[in-house]
Amino acid sequence: MSAPLSEFGAMLIVIFIGFLPNEVWRVLGVLFGRRIDEDSAWMRWVKAVATALLAAVVARLVLVPSGALVALPLWLRVGAVAGGIAGFLAIRRSVLAGVLAAETILVLGAWWLGIG
């Protein structure tokens, strides 16, 4: 089989197995999400659960790290979380600003410590 044809086949597999099944749920979410009252008790509960799950993932990454984070000391990981929260709050509650601030602290801290 020629290379362009096999690449085309791989792209079709990604589209039909990876993209389309997820896209169905996105479209349904948009269609049904228009009717949901964001201030309802149900949505407040959903937001609370989502926030708790995110907090648990961050706590696990900080307290029981895996991969490259294992090499970084606890104080640097905690400092990166604090810097991320500060960046989030400083720039109009921007998630991107918080993530970039935390990542910058981790990268610069690893460089300063000679890790990596």
Residue range of the domain that includes 22: 1-35
Do 58 and 111 fall into the same domain? yes
CB 58 within 8 A of CB 81: yes
Same domain as 16, residue 46: no
Residue 8 has what pLDDT? Answer: 82
Cβ-proximal residues to 91 (8 Å cutoff; 6+ apart), any chain: 97
Q: Chain-wide mean pLDDT for the chain?
A: 90
55 with 19, same domain?
no
- Split into its structural domains, the chain has a count of 2
Angle, nearest 10°, between helix axes 95-113 and 74-90? 150
What pTM does this model have? 0.68
- Residue 47 and residue 27 share a domain: no
